[in-house]
Amino acid sequence: MPYQFEDLKKACAGEWQAYIEHSFVRQLGDGSLAPEAFRHYLKQDYLFLIQFARAFALAAYKSPTLTDLRQAKEGLQAIVDVELDLHISYCKEWGISEEELARLPEARATLAYTRYVLDTGNRGDLLDLHVALSPCMVGYGEIANWLNSRADTLRGERNPYNAWIAMYESDEFQQAMKAEIRWLDERLADVSPARFEQLTRIFSDATRLEIDFWEMGLIQSD
């Protein structure tokens, strides 16, 4: 039976649940997260986005087909021309200036996660890179959906983090998430059990590093 992205999640069910349902996420949903923790996360997420853009540039280099090359180019362009500007504007709403963002040092969790993704992509092929990126590219959309399924989640003006949830429940992000899952399903369908085991390790490592990223925000560690 061909492998699918869902099989990666099942193989790493404990890590995936710990990531999707992390205390940081729960507190985002019910509005109880400390503002200082969210600001710390926003700052580091800006630095993460820059490295994420580099990962798409690497994806372009690793692309074996014109279709893959165009996909990587679109991802890079979306981050550099759209997402970073939106993130900077959102940070300003939380009292974080663009000048402050430009001076930020990377927290250890940010360094560990982003460099793992880039190193995985450098050592492996395009599928390795996409699997390493998938906890972010797919996970944030699933997190928004999970939050919306919970009775404890507050929406609208009652929740200072409502805009964050809205970003990842948006049609645009949900469609991008589904497109990434389709891409992964198509490639995973052709891999051997031994290759799937390798990819499972990458997925597990990346998911655990995502958990560390939440933890970094929650405790505001450097």
Condensed to tens digits (0 to 9), the pLDDT of residues 161-196 reads 999 999 999 999 999 999 999 999 999 999 999 999
- If we measure between CA atoms, which residue out of 208, 188, 212, 210 comes closest to residue 199? 188
Residue 134 is part of which domain span?
5-219
pLDDT digits (tens, 9 = 90+) for 51-88: 999 999 999 999 999 999 999 999 999 999 999 999 99
Contact of 148 with 165, CB cutoff 8 Å: yes
Number of domains in the chain: 1
Question: Could you tell me the CATH number of the domain that includes residue 45?
Answer: 1.20.910.10
Q: What is the pTM of this model?
A: 0.95
- C-alpha dist (Å) from residue 219 to 49, 111, 212: 21, 17, 10
Per-residue pLDDT at 175: 95
State which H helix or E strand residue 176 sits in: helix 171-188
User: Is 93 a catalytic site residue?
Assistant: no
User: Is 180 a catalytic site residue?
Assistant: no
- C-alpha dist (Å) from residue 170 to 21, 104, 135, 158: 20, 29, 18, 19
Per-residue pLDDT at 1: 80
Catalytic residue among 12, 106, 136, 180: 136
